[in-house]
Amino acid sequence: MTTRYKLTIAYDGTKFHGFQKQKDLRTVEGVLEKAITKIAATGEEIKVFASGRTDAGVHALGQVVHFDYPRELDPESMLRAINTLMPLDVLVKKSEIVDSDFHARFNVKKKTYMYRVDLGHYTDPFKRFYTGHYPYPIDVEKIKIALQDVVGEHDFTSFAAAGGVIDYKVRTIYSATVEYNKENNELVFEFTGNGFLYNMVRILVATLLEIGNGRRDVHDFLRLYEVKDRQQARGTAQASGLYLKQVFY
Amino acid sequence: MTTRYKLTIAYDGTKFHGFQKQKDLRTVEGVLEKAITKIAATGEEIKVFASGRTDAGVHALGQVVHFDYPRELDPESMLRAINTLMPLDVLVKKSEIVDSDFHARFNVKKKTYMYRVDLGHYTDPFKRFYTGHYPYPIDVEKIKIALQDVVGEHDFTSFAAAGGVIDYKVRTIYSATVEYNKENNELVFEFTGNGFLYNMVRILVATLLEIGNGRRDVHDFLRLYEVKDRQQARGTAQASGLYLKQVFY
């Protein structure tokens, strides 16, 4: 008899080689599995399943994972036990016992990503790991018009990094917003959709910034959906600005 | 003929072994002197003078330094030249030409330090290098009462780290405030004074947190000024929460 736990976790991705386990490299999955395996103390490695991977340098405010535990522990004790073993750049924010057919990846209904862009002329020493940097003039209104073209069901082939293994590249974006925060001179993007291709948010942001800077037509997204060509979208915004904010089931 | 420059700089202290130059260790003074010496290109090392040192892990939003340059360059070009050679965790925010009798340390009239305290139960992955952490109940009103005892001219012997070489330990604090930021569950302290002893702000904060937590009498400062005994003040708040915010001349 095992008990399935769902964890909601936050991490600072700066010092991780991404989420997914890799031999001899520090990854979020690696530190989680090591801790849970230690708590279980059965000698068997406990495997963790996430809603999806995040790349090196990408952060999470609400990544979700599940795992099967050989006994039953109340969720709050599980949370405390794991956090005691976590390094300071990972924090379990919530722990729940779920049905044994819950799956952190397969049951995802939608996800929200946030992207922070620092518009300052120079890189801010305190933001270098936590924002992307775009030190060029931006017309936020142009970006807001372009975001209307992002919402909806589209073929995002032009916005998928080469190397992806998924053939079907149609995704639905339910909302796509940007806010300019005057106090810290940042743009904050949020995208909620039923799925995101590899590097898709970062490519969307790079394209949107070029639109805001006037280097692309405001409605260039309509053309990019048609041409289905990654070379046309070119840029990829820095990993450091990207946050997996929430996963919905 | 040399030209004296005054620079206002910000740095993330996380990856520095403090401000002061040390052989084979990465310090803020070290990277600054190396860059300015390279720009001057005379073969002579250019020496930088700061308003004061900061310890390893301590940050600056407005540290001030001066140096003598063998030629004259307009201040904006100097700023750009140095920033081009700075690592991403140091930023020159302002560059000015000053009289040759200006001295970054000896002419200081007052300084403002900020200290951020995260009150969250667990260490926030995104704040671990940028706040001190105090996961215990706090009564902010008690701290505000105690801060009234901090303002004024006092003998801060009880609040000076052992190892200081300064005998005269009377300093004047012009203002000492705390604000509770509900949004991020942080206390933000600010202290402005004519001078600060080694570790003094961190010891003041540790004592104030104990007062807020009810572990010390609200007016314990009055007793601590009298006893002149570092052992009585005990704690030192973490370096990661401390920011040199501004230096006044």
Percent of the residues in chain B that have a pLDDT greater than 70, as a whole number? 98
Residue B232 reports pLDDT greater than 90: no
Fold of B110-248: Alpha-Beta Plaits (3.30.70)
What CATH class does A3-98 carry? alpha beta
Minimum-distance CB partner of B125 among A90, A125, A126: A90
Q: How many CA atoms lie within 13 A of A14 on its CB side?
A: 16
Q: Which residues contact A26 (CB under 8 A, 6 or more apart)?
A: A15, A16, A17
- Taking an 8 Å cut-off on Cβ atoms, the answer to whether B91 and A123 are in contact is yes
* Nearest alpha carbon to residue B6 among B65, B50, B75: B65
Contact B129, A88 (CB under 8 A): no
ipTM computed for the complex: 0.76
**Rounded-to-integer distance, Cα A160 and Cα B160, Å:** 58
Residue B94 reports pLDDT greater than 70: yes
Percent of the residues in chain B that have a pLDDT greater than 90, as a whole number? 90
**Rounded-to-integer distance, Cα A49 and Cα A36, Å:** 12
pLDDT number for residue B201:
97
The average confidence (pLDDT) of chain B is 95
Q: Which residues contact B3 (CB under 8 A, 6 or more apart)?
A: B68, B69, B71, B72, B73, B97
**pLDDT of B160-192, one tens digit each?**
877 666 678 999 999 999 999 999 999 999 999
Domain with CATH 3.30.70.660 in chain B: 110-248
Element (H, E) at A94: strand A90-98
Residue B69 in marked binding region = no
Q: Are strands A170-181 and A186-193 parallel, antiparallel or unpaired?
A: antiparallel
Q: Helix A140-150 crosses helix A220-227 at what angle (to 10 degrees)?
A: 40
**pLDDT of B32-61, one tens digit each?**
999 999 999 998 999 999 999 999 999 999
> pLDDT tens digits, chain A, 249 residues: what are they?
899 999 999 999 999 999 999 999 999 999 999 999 999 999 899 999 999 999 999 999 999 999 999 999 999 999 999 999 999 999 999 999 999 999 999 999 999 999 999 999 999 999 999 999 999 999 999 999 999 999 999 999 999 877 666 678 999 999 999 999 999 999 999 999 999 999 999 999 999 999 999 999 999 999 999 999 888 888 999 999 999 999 999
- Taking an 8 Å cut-off on Cβ atoms, the answer to whether A12 and B123 are in contact is no
pLDDT number for residue B246:
98
pLDDT number for residue A231:
85
Cα of A220 vs its chain's centroid, Å: 25
Say which of B12, B55, B68, B89 is annotated catalytic: B55
For chain B, list residues whose CB is within 8 angstroms of any CB belonging to chain A: 10-12, 59, 83, 88-91, 122-126, 128, 130
Rounded to a whole number of angstroms, the distance from the CA of A171 to the nearest CA of chain B is 31
For chain A, list residues whose CB is within 8 angstroms of any CB belonging to chain B: 10-12, 59, 83, 88-91, 122-126, 128, 130
Domain with CATH 3.30.70.580 in chain A: 3-98
Measured distance between the N- and C-terminal CA atoms of chain A, rounded to whole angstroms: 25
Mean pLDDT confidence for B233-239: 91
Measured distance between the N- and C-terminal CA atoms of chain B, rounded to whole angstroms: 25
3-state helix, strand, coil in chain A (%, to 5): 30, 30, 45
Rounded to a whole number of angstroms, the distance from the CA of B141 to the nearest CA of chain A is 28
**Rounded-to-integer distance, Cα A185 and Cα A91, Å:** 28
Q: Helix B28-40 crosses helix B75-85 at what angle (to 10 degrees)?
A: 120
pLDDT number for residue B111:
98
